Amino acid sequence: MKPVSGKEDASGGIIVLAQDAQNFYLCRANALEGNFRLYVVQANQRVTLESADITPLALGTWHSLRVARVGSLLECALDGKTLLTHRLTAGQEPAWASGRVGLWTKADSVTHFDDLSLARLPEAPKGVRP
């Protein structure tokens, strides 16, 4: 992702495990606020699951975002470094936690995306919960 401009917001992210426009997980970086966050959105209500302070991203600079799910573990990486890890315990994982992916921006953000790739990760060995 490359945050280009925005006065109110300059952010971009990856939507994963989306059921629809109101139910998904979001890993996003905000260039103006200097933070990297993982959210769950349920019934269009956004809740922060994990957050990390980062050096504010320079506008016009490319950055890599990565989201991986192995079992109940979600990992979010920025520029090759895993900064957020969240484990959903039994009963926390929404029934809809499988589905589509997408790209996300907000407000007046102008953000470019390139080289999106998807890969299925190997399953954890039986009896081992990541």
In tens, the pLDDT along 52-81 reads 999 999 999 999 999 998 777 899 999 999
Summarize the confidence of residues 12-26 as an average pLDDT.
Answer: 92
Please, what is the Cα angle at 40 between 47 and 15, to 5 degrees? 135
For residue 126, is pLDDT > 60?
Answer: no
How many C-beta atoms lie closer than 10 Å to residue 1's C-beta? 26
CA 27 – CA 119 distance, rounded (Å): 17
Which residues touch 5 (CB under 8 Å, ≥6 apart)?
59, 108, 109, 110
pLDDT of residue 88: 74
Question: Which residue intervals of the chain are DSSP H helices?
Answer: none
pLDDT of residue 124: 57
For residue 91, is pLDDT > 70?
Answer: no
